[in-house]
């Protein structure tokens, strides 16, 4: 009985979070205010007066867009509807990245699959050019049937990945222990839809079926609360330059997972995580990364 009641409570709490996510996204601005299509030779399109952005992939090329601004910390929400049907070989992305060889990066990558098989949600964190911090998940819904909200909370304490406002991964700032953390390089937001049949689906065993092309992914309802960094390197959150309108809600700057958030995180990682670099002892036979030795949530 206690197990049933616990499952029921989790289900009800998930429903509340899904409703809250939908209400939050409904107030978002037009995509063309924040983003510009950067590649794809016309395959990326702004639709519905900027309310919807479509990326397309065929056997010639894919497409992508990026933010007009660069940011140093923020909370970023994007609703995405993924390629339906046989999406094997395709990769849809939503990520933040700085420039240069020693770049920082925070990744959502959606790896396509055969019809009826689940997408693989691939996450990674790069800092100072070092990545290899992959965690992968299957989702508790079909991400091709409707839009769902994918979020990155990035502040000076931690990075939290969320799906429909449900935390799936947390990467804490442990720079004081010598573990690199992205904290001083401004990043832009990027999205793309591209072909990665060499590795994306079952390690490249399943190739892209081009008779299904063009493949289309849709984005809408971007919501960003963040510190915008100017071309001269000045942050809108700098106390010397911030105005009353710069960041109207800055609660994200100190936001952390409470006990309820930790409960959801454990639930997702127990039931839906399919790969965690921290438990890949074969890959790290000479010793796991330092951030893995004390925590299971990275």
d(C-alpha 88, C-alpha 115), whole Å = 8
C-beta atoms surrounding 56 within 10 Å: 19
User: Distance of alpha carbon 64 from its chain centroid, rounded?
Assistant: 15
**Is residue 105 among the annotated active site residues?**
yes
Count Cα atoms within 13 angstroms, Cβ side, for 245.
Answer: 0
d(C-alpha 245, C-alpha 163), whole Å = 28
Joined together, the tokens standing for residue 38 give 């950067």
**Is residue 177 among the annotated active site residues?**
no
User: Distance of alpha carbon 139 from its chain centroid, rounded?
Assistant: 13
d(C-alpha 69, C-alpha 21), whole Å = 24
Say how many Å lie between the first and final Cα of the chain, rounded: 32
Q: Choosing from 66, 109, 170, 291, which is the catalytic residue?
A: 109
Q: Which residues are bridge partners to 19 per DSSP? A: none
Phi, psi at residue 238, to the nearest 5°? -65, 125
User: C-alpha angle with apex 240: 239 to 246, nearest 5 degrees?
Assistant: 60
Nearest Cα to Cα of residue 268 among 135, 157, 159, 148:
135
d(C-alpha 277, C-alpha 133), whole Å = 6
Q: Choosing from 66, 105, 170, 291, which is the catalytic residue?
A: 105
> Buried b / exposed e across 144-178, counting CB within 10 Å, b at 16+?
beebbbbbbbbbebbbbbbbbbbbbbbbbbbeeee
Strand (E) or helix (H) holding 7:
helix 2-25
Which residues are marked as active site?
A: 105, 109
């Amino acid at each position: 009985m206690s197990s049933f009641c616990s499952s029921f409570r989790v289900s009800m709490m998930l429903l509340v979070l899904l409703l809250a996510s939908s209400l939050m996204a409904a107030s978002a601005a037009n995509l063309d205010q924040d983003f510009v299509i950067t590649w794809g030779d016309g395959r990326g399109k702004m639709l519905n007066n900027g309310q919807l952005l479509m990326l397309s992939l065929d056997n010639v090329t894919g497409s992508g867009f990026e933010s007009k601004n660069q940011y140093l910390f923020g909370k970023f929400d994007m609703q995405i509807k993924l390629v339906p049907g046989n999406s094997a070989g395709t990769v849809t992305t939503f990520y933040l990245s700085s420039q240069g060889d020693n770049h920082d990066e925070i990744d959502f990558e959606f790896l396509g699959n055969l019809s009826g098989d689940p997408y693989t949600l691939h996450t990674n964190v790069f800092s100072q050019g070092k990545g290899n911090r992959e965690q992968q998940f299957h989702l508790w819904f079909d991400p091709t049937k409707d839009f769902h909200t994918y979020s990155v909370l990035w502040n000076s304490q931690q990075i939290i990945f969320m799906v429909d406002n449900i935390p799936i991964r947390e990467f804490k700032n442990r720079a004081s222990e010598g573990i690199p953390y992205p904290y001083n390089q401004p990043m832009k937001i990027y999205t793309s839809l591209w072909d990665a049949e060499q590795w994306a689906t079952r390690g490249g065993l399943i190739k892209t079926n081009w008779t299904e092309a063009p493949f289309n992914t849709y984005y809408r309802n971007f919501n960003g609360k963040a510190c915008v960094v100017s071309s001269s390197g000045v942050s809108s959150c700098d106390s010397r330059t911030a105005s009353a309108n710069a960041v109207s809600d800055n609660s994200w700057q100190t936001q952390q997972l409470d006990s309820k958030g930790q409960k959801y995180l454990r639930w997702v990682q127990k039931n839906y995580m399919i790969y965690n670099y921290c438990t890949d002892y074969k890959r790290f036979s000479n010793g796991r990364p330092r951030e893995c030795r004390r925590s299971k949530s990275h």
